[in-house]
Structure 1
Amino acid sequence: MQARVDQAATKLENLDLVTEVTMEALLNPLILDKVFRSMDVPTLKRVRLVCTVWADVGATFLGKKAHLTFSTWPEDTGLTSFHHKLANNIQLRFNMTCFCYHICTCSPSLTKLPSNFAIILPKISEKLETLEFFGVRAFEPAQEIWSTYYFPNLTRISILADGDDLDEKQPPRPEMAEFRLLPSLKVFFLEVSPVCRKPSSRAVMSTICQNLVNSAPNLEEFHLNTNFYLDLTACKNFKKLTMKHFDWGSDQFEISEMTEMLESCRTTLESLTLDYIGWDDVPYAIIERNLYFPNLKHLRLDDYDAGIIKNSLNVTNLPKLKLFSLSSLDIDNMCIIFAMLDSHHLRHTGTTSLDIDCTHYPEFGLDVEAGRKVVNLFPAVKELKLKLTVEFIIPYDQYFLALKETMQSFGNWELACGQVEFEIGSYSVYGTHGPYDHEFGSLMVIAVLQGMAGWRGLTKTSIEFTGNLWHARFRLLDEMREAILSCRTIKSLTFTGFQMDEETKDNFQTFIGEHNLQISATD
């Protein structure tokens, strides 16, 4: 009897020991650190409710993955207290509801920082890593922050300002645009509505942003979406620039300013994206520039900006260029590949990755010639991303013949990785959708596959076809079967948005299984 009692006591002691060890593990910050780092934001929020230890450890990761939002909206009371580790990423939203006519008479509170944020800012300024401004309607919020507080760990700033409202505000005194040093700032996003036309407003916002850049010697990445430009000379480690520029009747002057900005970061720049936004064609003959970037590795242009660099796209001007991206700004312009590359004549033998996104609208077979020209201009391409939006047109015969020949013209590269996407556009020459014609999608697929059958890099290439309600009924015609089998070595083939009746689905799945094809289809 005593033996059984002793045995039971021992089991209880062991159970207590196991429980104690388990509790120690569950409260060990090192173990929790490894577990919590893989959790998403909703899960982190839940586990922080378990106990104070979990709340503390979880706050570290939640603070990095999520953001706190403060607002000037009257009904938004905001946070009055929170764990200091959550103060990594802050988002400020300013009330953009304004019904004033011509001259804004809104309460001054709308041009100041959210009150709760202003209270806690002195306590968290040294912990902040990212700071985002949304709906900025006045200069004061930025001045109040930058001229007063020190942000040694701030790595990312984003400012979205309403240019129309800025025009109605009184500009601040010049000394209010001074900044304290931002030693850790790496990324800067700036968007000011293009309706900010008042010279004084433009000048003040430009000065504020220029001072911000001058205070960030380690800035590496700048996304600029506005109608003024900055000098980046002070940023010695600058690597990536994304720039949207607007056409408001002063193209030549703005392009000149843009060129000066590019020159200021010429030797360090590794990635450049140019997006032109405007109503009229850019006068290329006037604004063409001979650009030289010795360390540029990635260049992305839209169809308008392609004319700006013209013959700069060569191994002399861009000796380290590896990735070239070219896209059409607006598919409704029905831009063809030929027009996008018409100004380029020199080869670039160092470019190994090519990304083209535009609309296919065959006119006198020019796209076919453009395809051959692309292969000739970039003979060393190993990675290809090609996305074409195919516009609906009647009659088909000449259209699909040109599409087939266009795809054949891209076939001479020895691709290590290819990604081809075809999408039937929602716009057509007949109106928003044009007349219903369900045959169009299937005939498009046949033409594309026939054109790609002889590609040298077919085994490393994936194709995706995206249809729509008006022109995309999938039909398993004999020509479709033959076209698919001619590309049977392709890495993968995907159909999305094509209409299929049940009989066609069953026959298609049987066909795929019989030939062991890598094909997927979803309605």
Structure 2
Amino acid sequence: MDNLDIHASTKALMNPLVLNLILSYMDAPTLKSARSVCTLWADLGASFLGKQVSVTFENCCRKVISKSKELDSLRPELARSVGLIMLPSHCDWVSLPKNLIANLLHVSHHVVELDVTMSSKFEPALEQLWRMHYFPNLLHLTLTVIMIKVGYLSLSEHLSGNYNANQDDEEDDVEFVVVTPKIPQFLTLPNLKSIKLVVKDQNDMIQDRGISSICQGLLNSSPNILHVAINASFYPDFTPCTKLETLVYTFIRFDDFWVDEEVYVDVPKLTRMLDTCRNYLTRLTLSCDTDWELAQPPILMLPSIPNLMAIEIMDMQPLGNFLHSVHLPNLTQVTFSGYNNGYFSLTDIFKNFHLPHAGITSLDMETVYFNEVETATKIARLFPSVKKLRLKFVICEDETDFLELRDTLGSFATWNLTSALVEIEDVCDSTYVRAVLLGLVTWKALTPIAVKFVGLDGKFGPRFVLNYEMEEILLSCRSLRWIEMSRFRMEEEKRIEFEEFIEEHALPITLSRWEE
């Protein structure tokens, strides 16, 4: 091998693309040896090694568990992405393992990502983790808490943790006082940028008080937090989070064991929570179930959020008159998702919106369709600057009028769209395809528009009829970006004719999951 060949081989082995391919085939011992070659190999090999090895710590009398795929010693510099699973052992210990605590002293400074899954019994141990250990380089934290199910005990027993199986049932009525846990003081997390908190299996109002105080402590200790996602049943105070940009908040509805009723979002508390971060947020996502058995469900009225640019509201009703330029002056992107699942229409969403917002340029809506011409006209008038549109209608078979559907789509013809996707689901008759296309053909430009039709799900999809009227409207829509039709029925001979018609006229139409 001459010098030129050696140079080429060396250059190839220092190419990250080539190295990543080679390293992906190595086992843990080989990777460990390869990382000693040079700094580049060490850096690239670390991620592959991290996927193959783990160190398991347990309490009780057990030592560190070693398996064939695990390292026989813990290298602190490798501990950049750490997953910690804290579940009760057979002897019911709920403290952090001593060998884990000892290693955390060396590891914590290297951790960049930390993913904790834990039983709620470990809440004191979790507090200890943040009180005693410093994570200066932690960027991303994910915390999943699995609530221990409350048994058929008295509430006073549940609060105190004491239970005598032989005591009389009459003692269940003992008075009690619920003490809210103090917000713990944790060591600062100076570089933490994102927190995701998920609470699962709650069935008692007071269950989340411990984890809510820990969550608040983490927020208080994270001066540079940018992104927060919470799936829980409490309402944090974001006042300390003066750099918070993105909030994704999902209220988890649950059945309260003690009062035997469902617990829904408390709208006033939600509004107060949002008020604590109103001056910083640029993106907001809300998903909260409402109790529709109430005679007058509380109306969601957002506080003024001056820097908000994008908002997504998922299946929440009713909404107040907050979608205007005075309240949300920098808003450009609006998404209403999941309203088709709750059987809500455009009218349900927009009925309380009365003031215009010329700054909104992107609109995304998922609803059930109920003859919406008047509401569609209102939307086009209130938000005249929309450039990007996604509209998903789920058709209600018994309540859809052909002309109303056509005119509803035609109501958006005033917009100068640069991108649009129209999705029509549960189509029960091919005449609705024609109605939609007749509405779309009135829009100012067809080239940015894509359309997707999905037939009604069931044993047999709707029959597609290719008659003269259908051919005419398909030809008039030939400049659409694309049309996709799925779950329709057509006899094989007629479908072949339809495919030939599509090919002959170079129509941008694709057919999928069609049956005879």
TM-score, normalisation: structure 1 = 0.78
CA deviation vs aligned residue, 1:13-64 (integer Å, no higher than 9, x gap):
xx23234323432443xx33x6557x69966879958944486242345479
Cα pair distance change 1:240/1:36, threshold 3 Å: farther
Q: Which of 354, 378, 392 in structure 2 is aligned with 1:373?
A: 378
Q: Which of 208, 213, 222 in structure 2 is aligned with 1:216?
A: 222
Asked if 1:315 corresponds to 2:325, the answer is yes
Moved more, 312-321 or 288-297: 288-297
Residue identity in the other structure for 1:419 = L
Report the equivalent of 2:167. Answer: none
How far does residue 518 in structure 1 lie from its aligned partner after superposition? 1.6
Contact kept in structure 1, 2:265 and 2:289, CA below 8 Å:
no
Report the equivalent of 1:101. Answer: none
Report the equivalent of 1:476. Answer: 466
Report the equivalent of 2:336. Answer: 326
Asked if 1:87 corresponds to 2:87, the answer is no
Q: Distance in 1 between matches of 2:32 and 2:489?
A: 48
CA deviation vs aligned residue, 1:177-236 (integer Å, no higher than 9, x gap):
43211111111111223735243x433222111110000001111111111111111111
Asked if 1:509 corresponds to 2:509, the answer is no
Q: For residue 185 of structure 1, give the secondary structure of its aligned residue in structure 2.
A: coil
Count of aligned pairs between the two proteins? 471
CA deviation vs aligned residue, 1:470-509 (integer Å, no higher than 9, x gap):
3344443333322222211111111234345543443233
Asked if 1:122 corresponds to 2:128, the answer is no
Q: Distance in 2 between matches of 1:485 and 1:72?
A: 69
Could you tell me which runs of 5 or more consecutive residues in structure 2 were left unpaired when the two chains were aligned. Answer: 152-157, 162-178, 255-260
Q: Distance in 1 between matches of 2:307 and 2:477?
A: 39
TM-score, normalisation: structure 2 = 0.79
Q: Distance in 2 between matches of 1:40 and 1:264?
A: 50
Report the equivalent of 2:420. Answer: 418
Report the equivalent of 2:355. Answer: 346
C-alpha RMSD over aligned residues:
3.8
Q: Distance in 1 between matches of 2:50 and 2:416?
A: 43
Q: For residue 6 of structure 2, give the secondary structure of its aligned residue in structure 1.
A: helix
Cα pair distance change 1:76/1:192, threshold 3 Å: farther
Report the equivalent of 2:10. Answer: 24
CA deviation vs aligned residue, 1:365-403 (integer Å, no higher than 9, x gap):
3x2211111111111100001112223x24x8x533332
Asked if 1:299 corresponds to 2:311, the answer is yes
How far does residue 77 in structure 1 lie from its aligned partner after superposition? 5.7
CA deviation vs aligned residue, 1:149-174 (integer Å, no higher than 9, x gap):
11111111111212344896879996
Contact kept in structure 1, 2:339 and 2:366, CA below 8 Å:
no
Asked if 1:162 corresponds to 2:164, the answer is no
Percent sequence identity over aligned pairs: 27
Cα pair distance change 1:66/1:237, threshold 3 Å: farther
Q: For residue 269 of structure 1, give the secondary structure of its aligned residue in structure 2.
A: coil
What are the residue-to-residue correspondences of 1:108-257 with 2, within 5 Å? 108-109=92-93, 111-113=94-96, 120-138=103-121, 139-165=123-149, 177-193=184-200, 195-199=202-206, 201-246=207-252, 254-257=266-269
Q: Distance in 2 between matches of 1:44 and 1:387?
A: 47
Cα pair distance change 1:327/1:114, threshold 3 Å: farther
Report the equivalent of 1:458. Answer: 446
Could you tell me which runs of 5 or more consecutive residues in structure 1 were left unpaired when the two chains were aligned. Answer: 1-14, 97-104, 426-439
Cα pair distance change 1:62/1:501, threshold 3 Å: farther
How far does residue 339 in structure 1 lie from its aligned partner after superposition? 1.1
Q: For residue 521 of structure 1, give the secondary structure of its aligned residue in structure 2.
A: strand
Asked if 1:448 corresponds to 2:416, the answer is no
Cα pair distance change 1:460/1:284, threshold 3 Å: farther
Residue identity in the other structure for 1:458 = L
Q: For residue 311 of structure 1, give the secondary structure of its aligned residue in structure 2.
A: coil
Q: Distance in 2 between matches of 1:232 and 1:283?
A: 32
More helix by share: 1
